Amino acid sequence: MEPTKRAQKIKMILMDVDGTLTDGAILVLPDGKELKSYNVRDGMGILLARLAGLKTGIITGKTSKSLEKRAQLLKIVELYQGILDKKTVLLEILQKHTLKLEEIAYIGDDLGDLEVIQSVGFAGAVADAHHEIKKHSHFICTNPGGKGAVREFIEFILEAQDKWESIKNTAKNLKGITLK
């Protein structure tokens, strides 16, 4: 099935973090705390998805307090951290939200994402993803992880669902509105 047809069925967008929402770099401070950088374009993409009525979620192998804050700010519905078996979590999310695999989109970058990539209805890979992830994805972003790839993936879905124009117009009126 072609990518546009797959994207039309999506009701929830799930994503990885390190290498997908971030560029994969982790700064370690002398006290051992870690810092990550998130792209505001990806954050806006997540907001646009929510405005379009799509649910969003994160399944990541690492655990981070900063990610908890970021997810709260963006009102991400599902946040799972420290997860090695992402497919099991995917199945829990399906049951919790009464969704089917073909209604889930997932974007990732590395081998820890492969089982989910192979299972969902619409799979995406960041431009600098591992070749196995690209091989099994329906959509390969032109942007690398942490540099707007998630936004690109979300915009493709919104365009496929004919929601892009109305969401784009709604976004113009968001001036002065906080995400909280």
CATH code, domain with 112 = 3.40.50.1000
pLDDT of 141 higher than 50: yes
- Would you say residue 57 lies in a domain? yes
- Would you say residue 111 lies in a domain? yes
- Would you say residue 117 lies in a domain? yes
Residues whose CB falls within 8 Å of the CB of residue 24, separated by 6 or more in sequence, listed in order? 18, 109, 145, 146
- Would you say residue 120 lies in a domain? yes
Instruction: Tell me which long-range contacts 135-138 makes (C-beta under 8 A, separation of at least 24).
Output: 138/3, 138/6
- Would you say residue 72 lies in a domain? yes
What residues make up the domain containing 157?
Answer: 3-23+36-170
- Would you say residue 76 lies in a domain? yes
Q: Is the pTM of this model over 0.75?
A: yes
Give the 3-state secondary structure of residue 139. Answer: strand
How high is the mean pLDDT of the chain? 93
| pLDDT confidence band for 35 (50 / 70 / 90) | confident
Rounded CA separation 107/143 (Å): 12
Q: Give pLDDT tens digits for 63-108.
A: 988 899 999 999 999 999 999 999 999 999 999 999 999 999 999 9
Q: What pLDDT is recorded for position 180?
A: 44
- Would you say residue 161 lies in a domain? yes
Rounded CA separation 26/43 (Å): 19
pLDDT of 171 higher than 80: no
Percentage of the chain beyond pLDDT 70 is 96
- Would you say residue 114 lies in a domain? yes
Structural domains counted in the chain: 1
Angle at 87 between CA 85 and CA 93, to 5 degrees: 115
